[in-house]
Chains A and B, each alone.
Chain A
Amino acid sequence: MEINSIYIIKRETGVCLYHKDFTESAFDPQLLSSFLVAMTSFFDEATRSVTSQARAFEGTHYKILVEFGNWTLGAVSTKEDSAFARTKLKRLVERFENQFNVLRWVDIDLAIHTRFEQSVIEEFVRSIIHHDTIITVRAEWQHFTKKAEVVSFLRLIPSICTVKEAADFLEIPLEVALNLTAEALWERTITIENPVKPDDIYQPTSITGETDLTEPLPPETVRTIGEFDGETPISIAAERLKTSDLKRFLDEVALLEKRKIIELVTPAHSIAIRYTSALQSLLKNCANIVGMNVMRDVFVRSKQKLVETYPWLAFVSLEDGVDIELRSSLTAATIKGSISPDAVNDGFRVLLQFVTRRVRDILGCNPINKIVANTRKEIQTHYPSTAYDIEWECLTAVKSS
């Protein structure tokens, strides 16, 4: 989990109203809340600002991100500052203020920890659990939880299985199994591991000097490192290396990740790369029919319409023909996570919609729908797990009346 701990603090008094530690090495909540309130007040005074200016406090191995509500401030201790984590924290603060608004005026016991638990699970735990997440039930797990649904869930499932297997085993809907896994993880009765998927995009890690090199890497594993450039999904890297055994290749990637030689790119960057592939494939397929000039024109006009709403789209351009280029400034923003995945997702989704609407006028409904279907198939081969994150149904053209 990328989050170490979460704190919700009352700004006026500096009292920590809620905290949750996901690791053993968390800060003392009251100490931290006093520090954060004092520091943010100091910055506000120093800069004579009406709105609070402080955004983060940085340590050697952690960063404390701060987001402000109307009368509370939320803080998370994490490894990296990212728009993704900030969006979640902001949402959590809003939910807290809505749910416990009365605490703004009076101090009463509202059983916050029990009642707010579900919101934190939804924001920070549930999102890291997928259907193929591997669950490992901890030894002596019975000592950690008394929740009836978690106990009955863990009693029946195998000690090591995926969430999907657990759902099939218990004959319950997958969504229920995902939620139960989240609760079990919250109770620390299980550990989870997300396996490497063919869709995943890796980049060389920026961490140096921490790699355990006591055991040398196998030569075939070393050979693969060059393929992880932060833009190529594993499926394409495997094709380039002419790998016959994808499972073994995924194991090699997992080993490189474990050794901290490579790391997963941010969700925003992953979405940008996936959408770029989809957009390029769509433009290429359409250009085969109407020509490159027309498709370049369609792309530029669609982008121009959207730049006002999504300014970062100005950094998406076309190279020769219809090859999409993400300018380095946008790539840097997605890699650093300073642009949220939702913003990237929305921008590219609408751009794809605008392009398909314009091409529909040239080709008609049936051909563009066929092209969209073929593009989806192409993307599915390289992004088997995440191709459906693109809302293909929004791209389906219907005859205008």
Chain B
Amino acid sequence: MSRWTYAIATISLGFGILITSVLLWAFGFDVLALSLTNVLAPFTAISVGILGMAFFGRESFLKEDRYHTLYAWIALGLIFFSLADFTTILVSMAEDSTQLCFTIGLVQIPGLFLWALGIMSYLKSLNSSLRLTEGTQLWLALGIITTLMSLSLIVIVSIVFPMRNLLSTIVFVPITIVLGLVFFILLAVLWIFKDGSLAQPLLFLLFGISLLFFRAIFWQIEGYCNETAFNQLMAIESYLFIAVAFLIANKIGISLET
């Protein structure tokens, strides 16, 4: 089967899960929908993570291949995200979830750190070939923007939502900002390669990360660790989009045959 057959099968699986969850919710089976998504999210994350490592692990770390490294870091990040999703199952079972909510955020940070590391390394590699900027200006600018925006948003959220747990805010705001940073960098990279076939996996990666980013924005508005099927459904769909990106990226050179 070609890479697109696998990709279409994965997208269909995503649609299947989405429709099933919506139908369960529509017919009043909220708890069942929540349980289903709670169980599926960590298993999807770990499966896609392992798939990514199998595709890109060997080439990336042994041969210092930056393209493979990007996807390998994302795969490794997904494995950490699966831990966060397992924690979510614990939250849904616990009575007082304030401390566990903080823990979920904390567990997500290493995964997100790996994603940021992967995308920044790729950006650096891209810059060494395309020479978009000289020196360290870009890295300095990205560092300052991330720090300032995180601090500003923590202050704003603390003022607008004074009842929220401050520790959770301190953890979840940087998550949103870093996801946003990764999202916009990917958008820029996608724009650079918009005419080439390299844009295909990047587009699906962007879809996947955009879902997590919008979920993080939603958390900032609606509150952290809401026990809804929507949260986990967004995560599952995001992981499946990333899986599609892995499938296409793994065989990017195949289009050369034609």
Contacts and interface: CB of A to CB of B under 8 A. Distances in A.
Q: Among A285, A301, A367, A370, find the residue whose CB has the most chain B CB atoms closer than 10 A.
A: A367
A305 to B, nearest CB: 11
B96 interface: no
A287 B65 contact: yes
A309 to B, nearest CB: 20
A242 interface: no
A356 to B, nearest CB: 12
A291 B255 contact: no
A292 B130 contact: no
B128 A290 contact: no
Given A289-B126, A291-B59, A364 B252 contact: no
B197 interface: yes
Helix, strand, loop or mixed for chain B's interface?
helix
A307 interface: no
A292 B256 contact: no
B125 A289 contact: yes
Contact of A290 (B63, B67, B195): B67
Interface string A281-314: 0000111111111100110010000000000000
Nearest to B70: A291
Give the interface residue-count category, chain B: 20 to 34
Interface in B108-145: 125-126, 128-131
Interface string A353-375: 00000101111111100110010
Given A361-B196, A365-B195, A289 B65 contact: no
Interface in A336-366: 358, 360-366
A321 B63 contact: yes
Interface of B: 59, 63, 65-68, 125-126, 128-131, 192-199, 252-253, 255-256
22 contacts: A286-B129, A288-B125, A289-B125, A289-B129, A289-B130, A289-B198, A290-B67, A291-B65, A291-B67, A293-B68, A294-B67, A298-B256, A358-B256, A360-B196, A361-B196, A362-B198, A362-B253, A364-B192, A364-B195, A367-B196, A370-B131, A399-B195
